[in-house]
Amino acid sequence: MKKIRLLMAAVALVLSVGIASAQNVQVRGTVTDASTGEPVPFASIQVKGTMQGTASDALGSYVVSAPGNGVLVFSSIGYTTQEVAVNNRGTVNVSLVPETEFLDDVIVVGYGTVKREAKTGSIATLDAENLAEAPVASVDKMLAGKMAGVMVTAQTGQPGANSNIRIRGISSVNAGNEPLWVIDGIPVMSGDQGYFTNTSNAMTVVNPNDIESITVLKDAAAASIYGSRAANGVILVTTKSGSQGKAKFQVRAKYGINQFANDNNYRVMTGSELLATRRQAAINAGINPDDPTGAGYFPYSLLTREQTNWLKAFTKIGNMQEYEINASAGNDRGKLYTSLSYQNTDGITYASQFSKIVGRVNTDYKLTNNLTLGSRVNLAYTYNRDTEMQALYYANPFFGGLSIYPWTPFYDENGEYNTRISENNNTNPLYNMLRDGEVQWEKQFRTQASMYLEWQPLAGLVFKTNNMLETTNGEGRRYWGPDPGDSEGTLQTSVTQYVRLTTSNTATYNTIFGDAHSFRAMLGQEAMKELFHYYYAYSPTVDASIPYATTSIATDDQIGYDYSAETLLSFFGNVDYSYDQRYYLQAAVRADGSSLFGSANQWGLFWSVGGSWNISNEAFMAGLNWLNLLKLRASYGVNGNNNIAAYRAYGVYGAAAYNGASGMLPSSPDNPSLSWEKNYTWNVGLDFAMLDSRINGQIDVYTRDTKDMLLDKSVPQTSGFSSNFVNIGSLNNKGIEFQIDGDIIRTRDFSWNVGFNIAFNKSKVLDLGDTNEMSYNNQIKHTVGKQFYTFYLKDYYGVDPTTGAALWRAKDPSDPDNDDAYILTTSYNKARYIYCGSPEPNFTGGFNTSLSWKGFDLSAFFEFKGGNYVMLTEKRYLNSDGGQNMNQAATALNYWKQPGDTGVYPKPLLNNGTNSAAATSTRWLERGDYLRLKDVTLSYNFPTRLIEKVKLSGLKLYVSGLNLYTFHDVEWFDPERGINGMGSGIYPMSKTLVGGVEVSF
């Protein structure tokens, strides 16, 4: 563990965190390699018994202030730690002896750590040092664009919401595509656990600042030790543990504001724009807009009313604040790390808030020389509130803000908020937010508590048992107050509970024999049981003055209950072998039994093999001094996926009440042969480092076949079911990933670092059983030979320049099979369907750069995606060609006005029945490429000599901006619309600006 910490310190320096700063010179020297005489850069030099210390620079030189009678501790990854007394010397040169066991960086992998050099699979790691500065609520938000092949998509911009993570594309239709999260060695629950709100991301349980490192296992070789659940990759999170020495405290505070992000200035019409359009639409439809008894009465007098920008009225500037204290202490027997943090985000509406309190205690204690006991305890309380902010609810302030007529009065005749808003179903989102926003919430209490015992009876042999209890207890409340004049409200309450028990037991043996043979073997067993239940009460008649279930009339109340249980039993093992730091072999096998599958097919066997060749350690490469590392890796393996709902293997009748009597209805067909979905992955990779390791990077090429896919196959409803869950079909993802980092300037006072990563992935459906296509929804299909998600839409042509009518391409009756031949039609029903792009990006990635000078640090991080299409089905309402009685997008002003007009929207018609704005149309498909300036941070570390005087060991100030600007061409606030590109009516992104201070003592 300590080695990992040191690695992090070293990486942090590479990334110019700027720990070191100018200070009084007392001791200088050079750190060299005892075997080669080469300088050792980035070695840690610490004054024993204090917090003071520094690191050697690229040439191995260092300067540190230390007492004359003090002792300096020199350490570096791969070298034996050395202690040297200062003895009042001004120069101390040290030669560090290479450590055979740790010749390179170590990284956390499944059930252990490995030397970075020894890895055979595709692994990405993330230094967590800087993550604490980002104004986010959960760790998943910090991964976006940071690692090649790890795509993080925000489903919504609402604070506390879950994100969708796809590692190397999409592998599964139904068995889930989210990676497995493993925290401190135990697979944990993830995803959204809320009942009413969708802002109960399980990952908020972890305070980002408690994280020491994040490792993402991308290919089969790396992940298959997690067998059954590794198909979508594994994210390993390791939290901090204490360190030896004097107790260290850190206090952090940050405060910031957030604001609606609308970099393209998307807007709806003003009153006068809209009125002109509505009047024209009425006239086009043969309706007199000045006839008060007609169906299209839009007189000019509407403009004499006060006009309202509803979106502006419904949104505000939000704010976020976060406070934290953490402490770390230890001696040669025990280590302690503990932290407590509070975060609160008030969103950009009047009823979106997310707050959390997280506490952690990590302990490690050596009971005897060969027995270690430790625990990881994390407790969290989250509170979030909202009104209906997803989808096209009338109460959704973002859609209501677009759709309400500008001339609709803001206040009613009594001076109250107007709720007679017919174009929004008499719903005023602002009124709802203010009325219900305070009383509609989800509270969650989360526990992750684990204890481990490690026994090392012999050198190299370690037995470890690690046992975790994980719980989420949630309580939800949704309340609709009475409308004006009524006295009864509607109350819904929920109680949810998730419990997961895991025991993980391993035996590991490490040995080195002969000259250069290194061998590691591990055997393990794991068992997991997860229980879930909820109670739900619906009380439609509560007294508004006491809005709790007690005042409800019992006969109107309804109770819901659900329960599910799931178990998993696993046995696994792996073997690593390396020879002479040149050849590495790795094999892993895991057997998993899952209660989710039919009795005949519960067990799945997963395995992988991998090898790597460190070419740069070959004798024939010895002359190439500029090349520090060149390693070729290859692996193949099979992983499983069982991420499906419980009981899908059982054919059941479910309760179906009718007429006050209980009845039973078929709810799923029998499925005894249901079994694992499997992923077969090839990966070939190359790691390199050159020019004094100033430039390092990796390239990976992979192909992944998903077979025996768990498909919820659409079946004819004449069977009594809409779908049947079966193992059929296969899917392929292939791609290339490239990541490079470079230290362009690396001097003591000034450094400049840039990094870039990009990943290309393309999916292809290979087989869907006895059919060639499956509908995902009305706009997307899965079709053999095409990308997994492929839009399948009516082929919109444009506007007939002579009449202004919408035109579609239809199959040419004389040549119906030729896609290039078509005829034009004004009938939507006759239009042909075409495949037209995918919401899956062709490439994703990011680049970052950081500059540091003395104590200043400036870093910027960009994220990008490209080649994907998004579908804006909201436009069927907001660009409705006169069909909808609501405000319209400003872009709808560009409609057909006279013969000859081309490139315009169709002629608007009041109550348009032509389907010109139908949702399933290429008309609403847009390119989704974007480049987002995700994060800019400027920080300053005060020089030690200044803060020493006030007994501090560190003082840092910073400002940071999130989502500062997004370059895109989508006709909407933001280009991100979820994995399927369709997220309609979602809470938009916000941009956040925070400032913070961090004090260490």
Give the helix/strand (H/E) hosting 659. none
Q: Residue 912 interacts with other proteins (CB under 8 A)?
A: yes
| Residue owning tokens 């509270």 | 443
Q: How many CB atoms lie within 10 A of CB 717?
A: 9
**Of residues 778 and 802, the one with the C-beta less far from other proteins:** 778
Given the complex with other proteins, which of 295 and 821 has the nearer CB atom? 295
Query: What are the CA-CA distances from residue 48 to residues 63, 73, 82, 947, 951 (Å)?
Result: 15, 6, 11, 20, 17
451 sits near other proteins (criterion: CB under 8 A): no
- Restricted to residues 357-396, the positions that interact with other proteins (CB under 8 A) are 367-368, 371
Under the binding rule (CB under 8 A), the answer on residue 414 touching other proteins is: no
Q: And the tokens for 557?
A: 């109340």
Quick note: the x/- pattern for other proteins over 765-804, rule CB under 8 A, is: -----xx-x-x--x--------------------------
Pick from 35, 93, 304, 719 the residue near other proteins by CB under 8 A: 719
DSSP assignment letter at 224: G
Stretch that binds other proteins, among 201-209, 559-567, 926-934, 962-970 (CB under 8 A): 559-567
Q: Which of 295, 516, 546, 946 binds other proteins (CB under 8 A)?
A: 295
Rg of the chain taking only CA atoms, in angstroms: 31
| 375, 387 contact by CB (below 8 A) | no
Pairwise CA distance, residues 91 & 149, whole Å: 47
| Binding-site string for other proteins from residue 721 to residue 760, where x marks contact by CB under 8 A and - marks none | xx-x------------------------------------
If the CB atoms of residues 208 and 296 are measured against other proteins, the closer one turns out to be 296
Beta strands 94-96; 27-33: pairing state: parallel
Nearer of residues 166 and 713 to other proteins, judged by Cβ: 713
102 vs 725, beta carbon nearer other proteins = 725
Q: How far is the CB of 159 from other proteins (least distance, A)?
A: 29
Residue 968 phi/psi, 5° resolution? -165, 170
Among 25-33, 354-362, 441-449, 915-923, the segment contacting other proteins (CB under 8 A): 915-923
Question: Residue 864: enclosing H or E segment and its boundaries?
Answer: strand 856-866
DSSP string, 391-457: TT-TT-HHHHHHHS-TTS-SB-TTSSBP---GGGTT--HHHHHHHHTTT-EEEEEEEEEEEEEEEEE
Single out the residue of 622, 913, 949, 951 in contact with other proteins (rule: CB under 8 A). 913
* Binding to other proteins in span 937-956, by CB under 8 A: none
Q: Three-state SS across 64-118?
A: ECCCCCCEEEEECCCECCEEEECCCCCECCEEECECCCCCCCEEEECCEEEEHHH
List the interface residues with other proteins, window 27-86 (CB under 8 A): none
Residue 561 in contact with other proteins, rule: CB under 8 A: yes
When the beta carbons of 514 and 660 are compared against other proteins, the nearer one is 660
Nearer to other proteins, 42 or 394 (CB): 394
Token pair for 965: 């600007």
The DSSP symbol for 831 reads P
d(CA 296, CA 895): 19
Nearer to other proteins, 360 or 713 (CB): 713
SS3 content of the chain, % helix, strand, coil (to 5): 10, 50, 40
Angstrom distance (rounded) from CA 315 to CA 334 = 51
Q: Which stretch binds other proteins (CB under 8 A): 120-128, 626-634, 713-721, 991-999?
A: 713-721
**79/298 with CB nearer other proteins:** 298
Contacts of 701 (CB under 8 A, 6+ apart): 683, 684, 685, 735, 736, 737
Cβ at position 371, least distance to other proteins in Å: 6
Separation of alpha carbons 34 and 29, rounded Å: 15
Residues 136-165 vs other proteins: string with x where CB under 8 A?
------------------------------
Nearest to 199 by CA among 472, 357, 390, 380: 390
Which residues from 829-888 bind other proteins, rule CB under 8 A? Answer: 829, 883-886
Q: How far apart are CB 794 and other proteins at their closest, in Å? A: 9
Query: What's the closest the beta carbon of residue 345 comes to other proteins, in angstroms?
Result: 31
Q: How far apart are CA 941 and CA 17, in angstroms?
A: 9
Question: One-letter amino acid identity for 32?
Answer: T
| Owner of token pair 């509406």 | 349
* Nearest CA-CA partner of 83 in 75, 91, 9: 75
Specify the residue, 556 or 580, whose C-beta has the smaller distance to other proteins.
Answer: 556
Smallest distance from the beta carbon of 682 to other proteins, in angstroms? 31
Residue pair 29/89 in contact (Cβ under 8 Å)? The answer is: no
Pick one of 134, 313, 878, 918: the residue that binds other proteins (CB under 8 A). Answer: 918
**Residues 499 to 558: which contact other proteins by CB under 8 A?**
503, 505, 525, 527, 529, 538, 540-541, 556, 558
Give min distance, CB of 571 to other proteins, in A: 9
Please tell me the total number of residues recorded for the chain in this structure.
1001
Note whether 992 and 256 are within 8 A (CB). Answer: yes
Nearer of residues 651 and 899 to other proteins, judged by Cβ: 651
d(CA 379, CA 449): 8
**x/- string (CB under 8 A) for other proteins, residues 617-656?**
-----------------------------xx--xxxxxxx
Q: Which CB sits closer to other proteins, 434 or 745? A: 434
From CA 978, how far away is CA 985, in angstroms rounded? 12
| Contact flag: residue 412 with other proteins (CB under 8 A) | no
Nearer to other proteins, 516 or 665 (CB): 665
Residues 661-700 interacting with other proteins (rule: CB under 8 A): 661-667, 669-670
Residue number, 24 or 558, with CB nearest to other proteins: 558
Q: How far is the CB of 729 from other proteins (least distance, A)?
A: 14
Options 90, 299, 720, 785; binder of other proteins; rule CB under 8 A: 720
Window of 269-277, 313-321, 418-426, 701-709 that interacts with other proteins by CB under 8 A: 418-426
Angle subtended at Cα 674 by Cα 673 and Cα 677, rounded to the nearest 5 degrees: 130
Residue 816 touches other proteins, criterion: CB under 8 A: no
Which CB, 317 or 565, lies closer to other proteins? 565
902 touches 817 (CB < 8 A): no
Q: What is the dihedral of CA 618, 621, 623, 629, to 10 degrees?
A: -90
Give, for 479, the enclosing helix (H) or strand (E).
Answer: strand 461-480
Residues 233-292 that bind other proteins (CB under 8 A): 285, 287
Comparing C-alpha atoms, which of 987, 966, 957 is closest to residue 255? 957
Which run of H or E residues covers position 876? helix 875-878
By the rule CB under 8 A, 488 interacts with other proteins: yes
Q: Which stretch binds other proteins (CB under 8 A): 60-68, 563-571, 678-686, 887-895?
A: 563-571
Q: Which of 417, 480, 972, 987 binds other proteins (CB under 8 A)?
A: 480
From residue 567 to residue 606, the character string flagging contacts with other proteins as x (rule: CB under 8 A) and all else as - is x-x-----------------------xxx---x--x----
Shorter beta-carbon distance to other proteins: residue 204 or 641? 641
Q: Which of 85, 565, 624, 950 binds other proteins (CB under 8 A)?
A: 565
Q: Closest distance between other proteins and the C-beta of residue 76, in Å?
A: 35
Contact flag: residue 301 with other proteins (CB under 8 A): no
Name the nearest CA neighbour of 992 among 520, 175, 487, 354: 354
